[in-house]
Amino acid sequence: MSKVICCLSQKGGVGKSTIARIAAVAYAAAGWSTIILDADASQETSNEWFTRRLDNPKAKTTDLWVSRAKGVNPVKKERASGNYDMIIVDGAPHATDASVMYAKQADLILIPTGTAIDDLEPAVRMAISLVSVHGIDRERIRFVLNHCSRNKRETSQAIEAILGSGLKVMGAMLNESPCYRSAMDAGLAPNEVPYFIPKNRATFVAESIANELEAQFCDGSMGVN
Ligand SMILES: Nc1ncnc2c1ncn2[C@@H]1O[C@H](COP(=O)(O)OP(=O)(O)OP(=O)(O)O)[C@@H](O)[C@H]1O
Ligand SMILES: [Mg+2]
Protein backbone atom coordinates (compact mmCIF):
# COMPACT_ATOMS: atom_id res chain seq x y z
CA MET A 1 0.00 0.00 0.00
CA SER A 2 1.20 3.54 -0.77
CA LYS A 3 2.76 5.55 2.00
CA VAL A 4 1.34 9.03 2.60
CA ILE A 5 3.17 12.12 3.81
CA CYS A 6 1.34 15.41 4.17
CA CYS A 7 2.82 18.88 4.56
CA LEU A 8 0.48 21.16 6.47
CA SER A 9 0.58 24.55 8.13
CA GLN A 10 -1.61 27.21 9.60
CA LYS A 11 0.39 29.93 7.84
CA GLY A 12 1.33 30.56 4.23
CA GLY A 13 4.89 30.67 2.93
CA VAL A 14 6.48 28.51 5.62
CA GLY A 15 7.80 25.84 3.25
CA LYS A 16 5.13 23.19 2.68
CA SER A 17 5.77 23.05 -1.06
CA THR A 18 9.53 23.19 -0.53
CA ILE A 19 9.52 20.25 1.89
CA ALA A 20 7.05 18.30 -0.29
CA ARG A 21 9.39 18.69 -3.29
CA ILE A 22 12.51 17.69 -1.31
CA ALA A 23 10.79 14.51 -0.16
CA ALA A 24 9.26 13.78 -3.56
CA VAL A 25 12.55 14.13 -5.44
CA ALA A 26 14.37 11.95 -2.88
CA TYR A 27 11.79 9.16 -2.98
CA ALA A 28 11.55 9.25 -6.78
CA ALA A 29 15.36 9.14 -7.05
CA ALA A 30 15.31 6.09 -4.77
CA GLY A 31 12.97 4.31 -7.18
CA TRP A 32 9.64 4.99 -5.52
CA SER A 33 6.83 5.89 -7.86
CA THR A 34 5.88 9.23 -6.34
CA ILE A 35 3.11 11.79 -6.73
CA ILE A 36 2.68 15.19 -5.13
CA LEU A 37 -0.99 16.07 -4.71
CA ASP A 38 -1.19 19.85 -4.88
CA ALA A 39 -3.98 20.73 -2.46
CA ASP A 40 -3.53 24.46 -2.94
CA ALA A 41 -6.26 25.05 -5.51
CA SER A 42 -5.88 28.83 -5.31
CA GLN A 43 -2.19 28.88 -6.37
CA GLU A 44 -1.25 25.42 -7.69
CA THR A 45 2.42 26.26 -7.19
CA SER A 46 3.63 22.66 -7.19
CA ASN A 47 1.64 21.97 -10.34
CA GLU A 48 3.38 24.93 -12.02
CA TRP A 49 6.73 23.83 -10.59
CA PHE A 50 6.24 20.44 -12.23
CA THR A 51 5.56 22.09 -15.60
CA ARG A 52 8.91 23.91 -15.25
CA ARG A 53 10.54 20.66 -14.15
CA LEU A 54 9.41 18.84 -17.30
CA ASP A 55 11.23 21.52 -19.33
CA ASN A 56 14.47 21.24 -17.36
CA PRO A 57 16.93 18.59 -18.62
CA LYS A 58 18.73 18.78 -15.25
CA ALA A 59 15.70 17.22 -13.56
CA LYS A 60 16.70 13.56 -13.56
CA THR A 61 13.87 11.78 -11.76
CA THR A 62 11.52 9.89 -14.02
CA ASP A 63 8.79 8.44 -11.82
CA LEU A 64 7.73 11.70 -10.19
CA TRP A 65 4.36 13.29 -10.87
CA VAL A 66 2.34 16.23 -9.64
CA SER A 67 -1.41 16.50 -9.85
CA ARG A 68 -4.10 18.76 -8.48
CA ALA A 69 -5.80 17.20 -5.46
CA LYS A 70 -9.16 16.50 -7.11
CA GLY A 71 -12.38 14.99 -5.83
CA VAL A 72 -13.77 14.28 -2.39
CA ASN A 73 -10.83 12.25 -1.10
CA PRO A 74 -7.83 12.48 -3.45
CA VAL A 75 -5.49 10.44 -1.23
CA LYS A 76 -7.97 7.55 -1.02
CA LYS A 77 -8.40 7.67 -4.80
CA GLU A 78 -4.66 7.59 -5.52
CA ARG A 79 -4.12 4.87 -2.91
CA ALA A 80 -6.85 2.78 -4.49
CA SER A 81 -5.31 3.24 -7.97
CA GLY A 82 -2.18 1.41 -6.77
CA ASN A 83 -0.11 3.58 -9.13
CA TYR A 84 2.13 5.16 -6.53
CA ASP A 85 4.43 3.97 -3.76
CA MET A 86 4.49 7.44 -2.23
CA ILE A 87 1.76 10.08 -2.08
CA ILE A 88 2.84 13.49 -0.80
CA VAL A 89 0.18 16.09 -0.08
CA ASP A 90 1.32 19.69 -0.51
CA GLY A 91 -1.22 21.46 1.70
CA ALA A 92 -3.13 24.70 1.24
CA PRO A 93 -1.78 27.95 2.75
CA HIS A 94 -4.10 27.69 5.75
CA ALA A 95 -5.35 24.69 7.64
CA THR A 96 -8.81 23.68 6.45
CA ASP A 97 -11.20 20.76 6.90
CA ALA A 98 -9.32 19.15 4.01
CA SER A 99 -6.07 19.46 6.00
CA VAL A 100 -7.65 17.38 8.76
CA MET A 101 -8.77 14.79 6.22
CA TYR A 102 -5.20 14.56 4.85
CA ALA A 103 -3.72 14.38 8.35
CA LYS A 104 -6.02 11.47 9.22
CA GLN A 105 -4.77 9.49 6.22
CA ALA A 106 -1.10 10.40 6.54
CA ASP A 107 1.58 8.08 7.86
CA LEU A 108 3.68 11.15 8.59
CA ILE A 109 2.52 14.75 9.02
CA LEU A 110 5.17 17.39 8.40
CA ILE A 111 4.60 20.92 9.71
CA PRO A 112 7.19 23.33 8.36
CA THR A 113 7.65 26.52 10.35
CA GLY A 114 9.94 29.48 10.74
CA THR A 115 11.65 29.99 14.09
CA ALA A 116 9.93 33.26 15.07
CA ILE A 117 7.14 33.18 17.65
CA ASP A 118 4.76 34.61 15.03
CA ASP A 119 5.35 31.48 12.96
CA LEU A 120 5.73 28.96 15.75
CA GLU A 121 2.69 29.68 17.87
CA PRO A 122 0.07 29.18 15.13
CA ALA A 123 1.90 26.04 14.00
CA VAL A 124 1.96 24.57 17.51
CA ARG A 125 -1.72 25.47 18.02
CA MET A 126 -2.62 23.73 14.78
CA ALA A 127 -0.71 20.58 15.79
CA ILE A 128 -2.32 20.53 19.23
CA SER A 129 -5.73 20.90 17.64
CA LEU A 130 -4.99 18.00 15.27
CA VAL A 131 -4.19 15.87 18.32
CA SER A 132 -6.75 17.00 20.87
CA VAL A 133 -9.71 17.89 18.64
CA HIS A 134 -9.26 15.52 15.72
CA GLY A 135 -7.63 12.53 17.42
CA ILE A 136 -4.46 12.47 15.31
CA ASP A 137 -1.65 10.44 16.89
CA ARG A 138 0.96 13.01 17.98
CA GLU A 139 3.71 10.49 17.19
CA ARG A 140 2.95 10.96 13.50
CA ILE A 141 3.56 14.73 13.62
CA ARG A 142 7.00 16.27 13.01
CA PHE A 143 7.86 19.92 12.84
CA VAL A 144 10.47 20.96 10.27
CA LEU A 145 12.30 24.23 10.88
CA ASN A 146 12.71 26.29 7.71
CA HIS A 147 14.07 29.72 6.79
CA CYS A 148 16.57 29.28 9.65
CA SER A 149 19.29 31.87 10.16
CA ARG A 150 22.80 31.26 11.50
CA ASN A 151 21.61 32.43 14.91
CA LYS A 152 21.79 29.21 16.96
CA ARG A 153 19.87 30.78 19.85
CA GLU A 154 16.85 31.40 17.60
CA THR A 155 16.91 27.79 16.45
CA SER A 156 17.34 26.28 19.89
CA GLN A 157 14.55 28.46 21.32
CA ALA A 158 12.24 27.25 18.55
CA ILE A 159 13.15 23.63 19.25
CA GLU A 160 12.54 24.12 22.98
CA ALA A 161 9.13 25.71 22.31
CA ILE A 162 8.06 22.76 20.16
CA LEU A 163 9.37 20.10 22.54
CA GLY A 164 7.87 22.00 25.47
CA SER A 165 4.45 21.61 23.84
CA GLY A 166 4.89 17.84 23.81
CA LEU A 167 5.48 17.73 20.05
CA LYS A 168 8.47 16.53 18.01
CA VAL A 169 10.78 18.41 15.69
CA MET A 170 13.17 16.98 13.13
CA GLY A 171 16.87 17.52 13.83
CA ALA A 172 17.40 18.32 10.14
CA MET A 173 16.36 21.85 9.16
CA LEU A 174 16.64 24.18 6.19
CA ASN A 175 18.56 27.42 6.34
CA GLU A 176 17.34 30.42 4.39
CA SER A 177 19.24 30.16 1.11
CA PRO A 178 18.55 32.04 -2.14
CA CYS A 179 19.81 29.07 -4.17
CA TYR A 180 16.74 27.07 -3.05
CA ARG A 181 14.47 29.70 -4.57
CA SER A 182 16.31 29.76 -7.88
CA ALA A 183 16.37 25.96 -8.01
CA MET A 184 12.61 25.83 -7.53
CA ASP A 185 12.16 28.58 -10.13
CA ALA A 186 13.85 26.15 -12.52
CA GLY A 187 11.69 23.19 -11.54
CA LEU A 188 14.31 21.61 -9.28
CA ALA A 189 14.18 20.87 -5.56
CA PRO A 190 16.58 22.13 -2.87
CA ASN A 191 18.27 18.71 -2.78
CA GLU A 192 19.14 19.21 -6.47
CA VAL A 193 21.07 22.49 -6.14
CA PRO A 194 24.64 22.38 -7.47
CA TYR A 195 26.23 23.76 -4.28
CA PHE A 196 27.71 21.31 -1.81
CA ILE A 197 26.59 22.67 1.58
CA PRO A 198 22.99 23.71 0.77
CA LYS A 199 22.50 20.51 -1.22
CA ASN A 200 23.76 18.45 1.73
CA ARG A 201 21.44 20.27 4.13
CA ALA A 202 18.42 19.58 1.94
CA THR A 203 19.53 15.97 1.42
CA PHE A 204 19.78 15.58 5.19
CA VAL A 205 16.19 16.84 5.47
CA ALA A 206 15.11 14.21 2.91
CA GLU A 207 16.97 11.46 4.79
CA SER A 208 15.44 12.54 8.07
CA ILE A 209 11.94 12.48 6.58
CA ALA A 210 12.63 8.94 5.33
CA ASN A 211 13.92 7.93 8.76
CA GLU A 212 10.87 9.41 10.49
CA LEU A 213 8.56 7.58 8.11
CA GLU A 214 10.49 4.36 8.51
CA ALA A 215 10.25 4.69 12.28
CA GLN A 216 6.45 4.74 11.93
CA PHE A 217 6.60 1.25 10.44
CA CYS A 218 9.89 -0.20 11.70
CA ASP A 219 10.04 -2.29 8.52
CA GLY A 220 13.69 -1.88 7.61
CA SER A 221 15.50 0.54 5.29
CA MET A 222 13.46 2.39 2.69
CA GLY A 223 16.60 3.14 0.67
CA VAL A 224 16.14 6.89 0.33
CA ASN A 225 18.90 9.49 0.33
N1 LIG B 1 14.94 27.65 3.06
C2 LIG B 1 14.58 28.54 2.14
N3 LIG B 1 15.44 29.45 1.66
C4 LIG B 1 15.05 30.35 0.73
N5 LIG B 1 13.84 30.41 0.19
C6 LIG B 1 12.93 29.52 0.62
C7 LIG B 1 13.24 28.53 1.60
N8 LIG B 1 12.14 27.78 1.82
C9 LIG B 1 11.18 28.28 1.03
N10 LIG B 1 11.64 29.33 0.31
C11 LIG B 1 10.90 30.18 -0.61
O12 LIG B 1 9.86 30.78 0.18
C13 LIG B 1 8.65 30.83 -0.55
C14 LIG B 1 7.58 30.05 0.20
O15 LIG B 1 7.97 28.68 0.26
P16 LIG B 1 6.89 27.56 -0.07
O17 LIG B 1 6.21 27.88 -1.34
O18 LIG B 1 7.57 26.25 0.04
O19 LIG B 1 5.91 27.79 1.15
P20 LIG B 1 4.43 27.24 1.30
O21 LIG B 1 4.22 26.98 2.74
O22 LIG B 1 4.19 26.12 0.38
O23 LIG B 1 3.62 28.52 0.82
P24 LIG B 1 2.03 28.58 0.52
O25 LIG B 1 1.37 28.59 1.85
O26 LIG B 1 1.86 29.86 -0.23
O27 LIG B 1 1.68 27.36 -0.27
C28 LIG B 1 8.94 30.28 -1.94
O29 LIG B 1 9.26 31.35 -2.78
C30 LIG B 1 10.18 29.41 -1.72
O31 LIG B 1 11.01 29.36 -2.87
MG1 LIG C 1 2.74 25.90 -1.12
Residue pLDDT, tens place only, 2-35: 999 999 999 999 999 999 999 999 999 999 999 9
73 half-sphere exposure, CB direction, 13 A CA radius: 12
pTM assigned to the model: 0.96
Smallest CA-to-CA distance from 48 within 12, 90, 19 is with 90
Please report the atom of ligand 1 found closest to the CA of residue 19. 18
What pLDDT sits at residue 225? Answer: 46
Q: How far apart, in Å, do the first and last CA atoms of the chain sit?
A: 21
What pLDDT sits at residue 221? Answer: 46
Smallest CA-to-CA distance from 141 within 117, 154, 119, 125 is with 125
Give the domains, in start order, of the chain with CATH numbers: 3-217 (3.40.50.300)
What pLDDT sits at residue 102? Answer: 98
What pLDDT sits at residue 224? Answer: 54
Distance CA 63, CA 145 (A): 28
Q: Are 193 and 215 in contact (CB under 8 A)?
A: no
Ligand number with the minimum distance to the CA of 38: 2
Please report the atom of ligand 1 found closest to the CA of residue 174. 1
**Residue 51, amino acid:** T
Smallest CA-to-CA distance from 10 within 88, 123, 112 is with 123
Distance CA 58, CA 7 (A): 25
What pLDDT sits at residue 96? Answer: 87
Q: How many angstroms does the Cα of residue 20 sit away from the middle of ligand 2? A: 9
Q: Per-10-residue mean pLDDT for the chain, 225 residues long?
A: 96 97 98 97 95 96 95 96 97 92 98 96 97 97 97 96 98 97 98 97 98 83 49
